[in-house]
Structure 1
């Protein structure tokens, strides 16, 4: 019984920690995804991504783990190639809080009561994973995850794993 409670808490933690990543995906509806069994990374595309080599390794390792868990095999002669790109955008949030409304001119401005400002910044990152048919050299599936990035190096592995897991949860696509 204790194991079930612990497992439930762990699953809840994993679900809530990755819930901040917003995910979208798109795919070629004419492709039979069941024919793809092997993969390799598209080195030419990945080399162009402008992030640190450490973060590239984190992303590649997470993609490897997810693809292996889905039953795919890394190969020198793959069925599909995996590429990824990233982008980041800094957000600045300014909130003004008024100490009160007393004497003064106009709503929100009061010479007798001061206003407090709260300025915060965060960085929103986007990870895009492309799956490419290795023979035709055509994009067959694309997943995109958007969420907040952390500068804390202890949490980078966890954050990147969350992005990759959330994105690749939508592969292979379920045709309706």
Structure 2
């Protein structure tokens, strides 16, 4: 019984941490000199195509502005780079089968089990950085994780996605 009291909080904490994590990946053009890219603007045609609400687009752009400013980049009318976004989402279904041999008060000794099915929405946010002069994609970051069901955590979750993705930019700046 003591082991159960100890392990249940650990399992709950692991589930909480695994749900909140954002998996990130980045790819970039190795021929690009990222030290030359100091100013940015949003690429409106690309952002307009993102299949999310206008409110979420604003939340993402505010979060990008905050992260870029923290890295020392400046917004400009004549930018070195353009930033665009797009999103994907999918329903993730997990099936857990639990079976075993044991005793039950109504059925005695025997083999039994049950299945537990859970589903949640998993989303991916892509942030593209385009060289404004060449009009070429030079960096792309992707963050994938669970999306909140409620509005109260949505803004916080978006900031977390953007922060984790842009932690990979510029290349070589990862901590």
TM over 0.5: yes
Q: Shorter-chain TM-score category?
A: 0.7 to 0.9
Q: 1:131 touches 1:140 (CA, 8 Å); kept in 2?
A: yes
The 5 Å alignment of 1:32-111 reads 32-98=33-99, 100=101
Question: Which structure 2 segments of 5+ residues have no match?
Answer: 1-16, 104-109
* Aligned residue among 128, 131, 151 for 1:130: 128
Report the equivalent of 1:12: none
Cα offset for 1:174?
1.4
Q: Paired residues, what number?
A: 151
* Aligned residue among 124, 147, 150 for 1:149: 147
| SS of structure 2 residue aligned to 1:100 | strand
| SS of structure 2 residue aligned to 1:170 | coil
| SS of structure 2 residue aligned to 1:150 | coil
Matched, 1:29 2:37: no
Q: Distance in 1 between matches of 2:82 and 2:19?
A: 26
Cα offset for 1:76?
1.1
Counterparts in 2 of 1:63 and 1:35: CA distance versus 1, 3 Å: same
- The C-alpha deviation readout for 1:20-45, integer Å capped at 9, x for no partner, is 11111111111111111110000001
Counterparts in 2 of 1:96 and 1:149: CA distance versus 1, 3 Å: same
- Structure richer in strand, relative to its length: 2
Report the equivalent of 2:166: 168
Cα offset for 1:97?
2.4
| SS of structure 2 residue aligned to 1:164 | helix
What is the TM-score of this pair, normalised by structure 2? 0.79
- The C-alpha deviation readout for 1:39-65, integer Å capped at 9, x for no partner, is 000000110111111111111110010
CA RMSD in angstroms comes to: 2.1
What is the TM-score of this pair, normalised by structure 1? 0.79
Cα offset for 1:125?
0.8
